[in-house]
Structure 1
């Protein structure tokens, strides 16, 4: 019986893993340059049952193009529509937990990677696959997120990415894929990752933080279409979860899709900044996230309206523990689950609505209405009532001590 080398970090590791290449191999497949080249290398190495897995999470997937690449390379393609599972099982908890990394941007690929890993394990077990591969490299946090999730999920065969220790020059990959008829790979000018919650861009023309200009064509939801008229938009929450837009109750996946279009039309929800790698090095990433921006801001407004300051302070602390666990590929671990349980209990009273006036850079809230608020709606009336209550509790002692009531 062969002894598995659990970690795949190079193309040599695949050959030396102890897994028969005639046995099914599952690879996460995006249709991009790296994942297409991996399929090519596996086929060239004699693998006869390569299963390319695409987990659809509402991003920029192009099913026809992905199918064409798989057919041309002679591998079997599995395209799974996981949009509802992604939003309900991963985005919804992230909304409640205010999944924002270091007060800069909403976490996104940390959520989708956990779902992709879980789906890969399910498919691999159904096929009795001996290996799960992905194509993250060491300049991407995705590497440890996928590996961490695959480990926590208990996949027994080897898994990992050959690009960790064995990167292949971009031009070499393009040249070899062109030789088998895949010419379109040369057109990729940046690495992209997208889902319903966020679209991300990095590398290529965005490599240098000191000199980068994001092509407008990269944006989809917030692409420039001229200045739209200002409009009001109301989002309602129940127990910390978005449930309606402008009075119409919708599934969360439809709310996210609607807000990406509506909020993005006003040019809102863009972010450019530095991402921290495990080594401490920083890399530039660009994000587009209109729905995430508005939903997280709205829920925080309602939390502030109904929670005591001390409870909110503790929640903010736990939120960052939750974020760290998700970022480090420990989504399926006990600590994130414990944080989620605390958060779920705390946001139970977060019910109400927030109405926004969307007007580009002048966007602002015009109504924050909680079902059980701690705010006051008229300060002067509250001050007078507060004074009357305090004097009543004192039993008139202040007047008795002052005698005539004069200074």
Structure 2
């Protein structure tokens, strides 16, 4: 679509330096009306405060701020937990999980205001451009997508600051910003600064959500999580909504330094990046959920759920939420989740979340069978026939080698 045919654009707006510059840039280069859209996914009131007025001052004709906190946790985080997805063994997918709901809401605003284009502030080096545009392709293939970082000539924060200053557009950003951060109800991510050197240990200036494990309380704290059919229903016997349960656990776990990771990950676009993530409540929930699964699911079921989780971690990370594959994997996880009912006690201490107690009405664990003491339910002599049949193929192979010797 030619630039002249773009009349109204909905921009995914954060109020940061990039998107503040994008508003006037769109108006100048596309001669269009710009509608700012911001999603409240639990990143905190301080990031949303004054956002509407800031967007208007930057040149937007309107700013839509949509509350997605509850839907984000219920419809995106909880289903992902049920799959057991953890990207490359460590990353709990906090940024990845927020992108589909933000993109979906952006499309809904675009339909509401009659826009003919969508715009995002993602760079051409990262994963988010793929996540947003993959969602746009699935939900609104008729709308043009504008990605300024792939079009304009600006390459640095200094360029953006000069651009805004020339147009007398106020900004609180400065050229000395060290870290790039992204926050939501599930986590906060940190990139840049000393983290660009993988040999450099993160300073305490990196972390903003959790206390240092060394500075955490010397006395452990125990928290009880109660699940019903794969859904977290209670924390310490108090019934809470999914969002409030996560907020509660974030607060409790953060003060014990739980949920910090420092990883080098493989981006979808081919390069490696180093990031630090803080996911205090999510770490507790995921640990508790998997501990409950270990009590309930049989060996073959747990193996399949683990494989499903591995596959879904890549589906989520790669921005393929709105695909038949994603829906198939989520549906498969739901079958297992229906059995995940019970209580888990997690010990929080010096950066660790350790499961100490577990119980479930669907437990397959039987003390009568598992005991090392005397029992009346298991005849150990029966194991001989099982082992003989289980290893029969190895026995036959060895015999054949002997015949050929």
Q: TM-score range by the shorter chain?
A: 0.7 to 0.9
CA contact 1:43–1:73 (8 Å) conserved in 2? no
Relative to 1, partners in 2 of residues 1:190 and 1:250: Cα closer, same or farther, differing over 3 Å? same
- Paired with 1:103 and 1:164, the residues of 2 have a C-alpha distance of 32
- Deviation string, structure 1 residues 360-389 (Cα, Å, up to 9, x no partner): 146532211122211234644775123369
- Paired with 2:25 and 2:35, the residues of 1 have a C-alpha distance of 13
* 2:365 equivalent to 1:375: yes
Gaps of 5+ in 2: 386-405
CA contact 1:99–1:322 (8 Å) conserved in 2? yes
TM-superposed CA distance for 1:17, in Å, is: 3.7
Equivalent in the alignment of 1:45: 29
Q: Secondary structure at the match of 2:227?
A: strand
Relative to 1, partners in 2 of residues 1:56 and 1:241: Cα closer, same or farther, differing over 3 Å? same
Equivalent in the alignment of 1:96: 82
Q: Residues 111-260 of structure 1: matches in 2 within 5 Å?
A: 111-164=97-150, 166=152, 168-179=155-166, 180-186=168-174, 188-211=177-200, 213-216=202-205, 218-222=207-211, 226-228=215-217, 229-260=219-250
* 2:60 equivalent to 1:71: no
- Paired with 2:223 and 2:346, the residues of 1 have a C-alpha distance of 5
- Paired with 1:212 and 1:164, the residues of 2 have a C-alpha distance of 32
- Paired with 1:382 and 1:27, the residues of 2 have a C-alpha distance of 67
Relative to 1, partners in 2 of residues 1:17 and 1:323: Cα closer, same or farther, differing over 3 Å? farther
Q: Relative to structure 2, which stretch is displaced further, 71-80 or 257-266?
A: 71-80
- Deviation string, structure 1 residues 375-404 (Cα, Å, up to 9, x no partner): 23464477512336978xx9xxxxxxxxxx
Q: Secondary structure at the match of 1:192?
A: strand
TM-superposed CA distance for 1:346, in Å, is: 1.4
- Paired with 2:212 and 2:5, the residues of 1 have a C-alpha distance of 47
**How many residues end up aligned between the 2 structures?**
376
CA contact 2:22–2:121 (8 Å) conserved in 1? yes
CA contact 1:117–1:146 (8 Å) conserved in 2? yes
Equivalent in the alignment of 1:401: none
* 2:325 equivalent to 1:335: yes
Q: Secondary structure at the match of 1:234?
A: strand
Q: Relative to structure 2, which stretch is displaced further, 376-385 or 64-73?
A: 376-385
Match of 2:375 among 384, 388, 406: 384
Q: Residues 229-378 of structure 1: matches in 2 within 5 Å?
A: 229-361=219-351, 363-377=353-367
Length-normalised TM-score, structure 2: 0.86
Length-normalised TM-score, structure 1: 0.86
CA contact 1:132–1:157 (8 Å) conserved in 2? yes
CA contact 1:196–1:257 (8 Å) conserved in 2? yes
CA contact 2:210–2:260 (8 Å) conserved in 1? no
CA contact 2:292–2:359 (8 Å) conserved in 1? yes
Q: Secondary structure at the match of 2:132?
A: helix
Q: Residues 19-38 of structure 1: matches in 2 within 5 Å?
A: 19-20=5-6, 23-38=7-22
Q: Relative to structure 2, which stretch is displaced further, 357-366 or 378-387?
A: 378-387
